[in-house]
Structure 1
């Protein structure tokens, strides 16, 4: 017997530079709030714009409290029958850096709190999960975590899966992107001819996926993967991998291409990404052009957390039937795209969220209103 359960998102929460919860995040995105600011502390004699979370404590400790809040607000008594899936690009690197720079010595560094599964390790000190898995595939980390969650629920392996996407700012990542010459000194403007780069940011999102529908459930309908392996850091200029990922997601969701109303683009604000993704969208959607926007001009690029945070944004779009605009988009790079230029109240049944990573690792997720 083939098991093919539907997969529902029944709870979500987030913390980012754009807001302390999902409602604040969505308001910031819709109202085009200023959330990205310049910083000189990461790179000597260089100004970069980054997205910092306003916080008095470690982001991982805030995450612990939000998991406690989830238990209070859902039907889960504990996490004993829940699979934990974490998507992160840097893991506990910020903690390692803090200790190293503080002492100029590696001996006080806890090796268990450094790798990508450091987040799961931290959570397991407080909660008892049935099991845990960690994904680190750069900027697709938490999108791939969501894809894996859909697979294990749809096959009847788990009933409850908690997906967490989280990344914190670190010198290693900020300086690494600076070395690639892709950082902007101002809030990024994806898809605009005059853009000059991306904004590294931090934050997390948590999503509870289950096999049972609730009143305000959002369905994770489809997942599409591809790997174009065109270049170590740049996507194929024609967007072949991005196009394939979106096609595969539509096929997995058993939808028609014209069913898609909105695309939350990866849209980092770098030339290589924007040009490739727009070409992919243009070549895939011929008859009906879905609205397209990037929300990274508000959230910044949260790296491994981006897929989860933008999944939350898609859930809010579907629940509110509101499409946010592209902040800072004045002169579009490519014609033929249905750019969302202002906030609009319109019918959205299905939304695609794109996440693309170094090495040509591409993931597209489709979210829909439950039926």
Structure 2
């Protein structure tokens, strides 16, 4: 069986379609520039903005100009529509899945109208469009992907490569006929200030792998690819992939790059390739001192002194966070199709112990390309694209999964039991949902007699809503200075799954689904798929959510059911013998 790529679409800082993006890459033209569309006090920070206004995208998509729509949704719909048109495939009568990677979701719209939403009902409808899953559902609507079923992955900056991996696994397990997979992420003042609070933004154009690198430039954009089984007119093939957890820190990578090393190793193994078979590496390469050191070390562990040409394209696009993996996958496809290696813009000075990136090449043949995508929480994923079919055979056994243990917390009073696992000092630094997720996860593992599962899969509709709301309130009420990095660190949806992995040193598959009430269903489906495909024997699945008085007030005014105050359920699955 081969997973064929039959089309792709992209919109980012260097172009509003694949042709324009390709031209910019070949010309060495960066899209990183001063702020234009995003409303922020931080004019000193260069960013990679899409060169389209919300109004222009609404006109392209036939959306009423008076309607406020998240930029995340608009860019996603533009790119998804391009991808389907490029594939020239009919969707009618097919099992079609749209798998989207995003973390910001509708935050760009929410933050603009948050104060108004609290006072009156004019923009209250945005509360129902804030979550990541709503963005996916609206992309289906605005891109006219009639009959498609949406899935949403949220693993911070590796989200969209994980969306592609999930889509490929759906096809391998015969759960779909056509998968449109990728990611979309708009710039928001929320995460611009969050990254600034972590002190990892550069006020100059970023310089990945350069000795003088001082941080990243944020960007925005969207990209999707269309995948099918054994399609005769494939552009390229998904040869292999790996999803691993660094299990080290919520926002920093380990010194030896263990998660990245394992993800790349798994991708090579799945594709039955040797390191010497790779013709080009599109590195994650953010331009932060930590990432570039860690990624260099991981790659040297695999490729040694025979490093293939390598570059980071984030100096072209900015770091588009959840969309970056899909955008860079499309860049890899363009490089393979047109025979060039993108330059690592801005690189001048060799960093001690680091890789030496490419200045760009043309007239090359790229048969096999590796694309790296790493996220907060150590969610590290790698993807290998091939010009030729690779015949990755499905697991013939397909064992069934059974639940061997579970644990539930629905009352904050129960969190006192966390003391058997966590010290009081550490517990004081944890939010209530993190406490609940930790407690139910560790008790489920204890009940099942498993110290470390093969995979951790998390489901959450809104993530750690209390922390996100506190960060947003502080920014809206007090301005964009002196915001708390600890609150931002807890706002990414994969925080809980990553924290469990860090605690028990689990380097296995790690993913988070965030699609409203369907999140748990998606997580369980993935867990059973992993077991059926022979990729795991034990999987920890958690469903963790909370609400706040403010958010439940929005729900009441919208006439929607309120969310439960606190809910955490962890389930341990095992392959039946």
Q: What is the TM-score with the length of structure 2 in the denominator?
A: 0.60
Alpha carbons of 1:127 and 1:347: their partners in 2 closer, same or farther (altered >3 Å)? closer
Paired position in structure 2 for 1:96:
110
- Structure richer in helix, relative to its length: 2
SS of the equivalent of 2:248 reads coil
Aligned with 2:74 (options 61, 72, 83): 61
- Report if the CA contact (8 A) 1:79-1:128 is conserved: no
Shift of 1:161: 0.3
User: Structure 1: any 5+ residue segments left out of the alignment?
Assistant: none
Alpha carbons of 1:69 and 1:251: their partners in 2 closer, same or farther (altered >3 Å)? closer
Q: Say whether 1:117 aligns with 2:114.
A: no
Alpha carbons of 1:69 and 1:341: their partners in 2 closer, same or farther (altered >3 Å)? closer
Which one has the largest radius of gyration?
2
- Report if the CA contact (8 A) 1:205-1:308 is conserved: yes
Q: What is the TM-score with the length of structure 1 in the denominator?
A: 0.92
Partners of 1:8 and 1:45 in 2: how far apart?
A: 43
SS of the equivalent of 1:237 reads coil
Shift of 1:82: 0.6
RMSD: 2.1
Alpha carbons of 1:324 and 1:82: their partners in 2 closer, same or farther (altered >3 Å)? same
Paired position in structure 2 for 1:44:
41
Shift of 1:64: 3.1
Deviates more, 1:278-287 or 1:246-255: 278-287
User: Structure 2: any 5+ residue segments left out of the alignment?
Assistant: 58-70, 390-577
Higher relative contact order (CA 8 A, sep 6+): 1
- Report if the CA contact (8 A) 1:7-1:220 is conserved: yes
Q: For 1:24-35, what aligned pairs fall within 5 Å after superposition?
A: 24-35=20-31
Q: Say whether 1:333 aligns with 2:362.
A: no
Paired position in structure 2 for 1:87:
101
Q: For 1:253-264, what aligned pairs fall within 5 Å after superposition?
A: 253-264=271-282
SS of the equivalent of 1:356 reads strand
Deviates more, 1:129-138 or 1:289-298: 129-138
Shift of 1:216: 4.7
Deviates more, 1:265-274 or 1:115-124: 115-124
SS of the equivalent of 2:46 reads strand
Partners of 1:164 and 1:361 in 2: how far apart?
A: 16
Q: For 1:174-193, what aligned pairs fall within 5 Å after superposition?
A: 174-193=192-211
Aligned with 2:15 (options 19, 25, 28): 19
Aligned with 2:384 (options 352, 360, 366): 366
- Structure 1, residues 252-279: CA drift from partner, whole Å, max 9, x if none? 1111121111110000010010110011
- Structure 1, residues 87-120: CA drift from partner, whole Å, max 9, x if none? 0021111121122256674753333210111211
Q: How many residues align?
A: 367
